[in-house]
Structure 1
């Protein structure tokens, strides 16, 4: 915690979201589940979430096709990148926005709310989120 407050992790490079060894270490696709509960579940499961290590946090959304570019542009202001876009169906498309960060319950909840607001402003929905880490970090 103190490392995060005072800019710890200096000398460590940011996690590369394109690494081939990334595995899902925690996910939540239930609006009723708190981030803290999901993260506790992630720590207790296999592969286990490595606390205080960077993750690739991914948010799964469904948006109208004509609002995707605007939503992605807005998310980019918070360092999110478009990771995946599905095939359009009935005027909507599923997409994944991702960024690298250290994940704790507070920040997870904030980002979850940020994505819910983004989706709502663009007549879309959030399906859920997941986080990935290198397989070696989870052992």
Structure 2
């Protein structure tokens, strides 16, 4: 194909919209709540996950309410957004969210990181799930 033909093809392609944690139509495409299951196995059994496309990685955490601000600051350094799902006077259920392309290595690293952070702050990491727009696979 000529250079002009390639250029025409590039111009015809629609730019894929950038994914955000609040994008409409996000659905869970993979989930890992069993600590004994490897992240590679989680991704391998997912039939709806589009491996080459960005996803919202969402970690489920519980933390003492008094430690939320500290966790928010630590996680924000690496582009994570921490959102409160529910809370009592002492404990909060939270989601740590970030857009990224998923692979088993990074999922495992982030799972370990979230578990360590939660433990240091007196909480618990319950697991993670990944969301992508409907029909992205």
TM-score band, normalised by the shorter chain? 0.7 to 0.9
Find the structure with the greater CA-based Rg: 2
**1:38 aligned onto 2:9:** no
From the superposition, tell whether residues 27 and 137 of structure 1 become closer, same or farther in structure 2 (CA, over 3 Å).
Answer: same
- 1:19 CA drift (Å): 1.4
Deviation at 1:65, TM superposition (A): 0.8
Instruction: Say yes or no: does 1:25 pair with 2:24.
Output: no
CA contact (8 A) 2:86 2:93 kept: yes
Aligned to 2:20: 16
Is 2:59 the partner of 1:55? Answer: no
Matched residues, number: 123
Partner of 2:98: 99
Q: Separation in 1 of the partners of 2:100 and 2:84?
A: 19
What is the TM-score normalised by the length of structure 2?
A: 0.84
Instruction: Give the CA deviation at 1:87.
Output: 2.1
- Structure 1 unaligned segments of length 5 or more: list them: 1-10
**CA positional deviation for 1:118:** 0.7
Equivalent residue, structure 2, for 1:132:
131
Cα distance, 1:126 vs. partner? 0.5
**Is the partner of 1:86 in helix, strand or coil?**
strand
**What's 1:123 paired with?**
122
Is 1:67 the equivalent of 2:71? no
Distance 2:18 2:112 in 1: 24
How big is the shift at 1:83? Answer: 3.3
TM-score, length of structure 1 as denominator length? 0.83
Q: Which runs of 4+ in 1 moved over 4 A?
A: none
Across the aligned residues of Structure 1 and Structure 2, the Cα RMSD in angstroms comes to 1.4
The gaps in structure 2 that reach 5 residues or longer are 1-14
SS in 2 for 1:113: helix
For residue 12 of structure 1, report the CA deviation from its aligned partner. 5.4
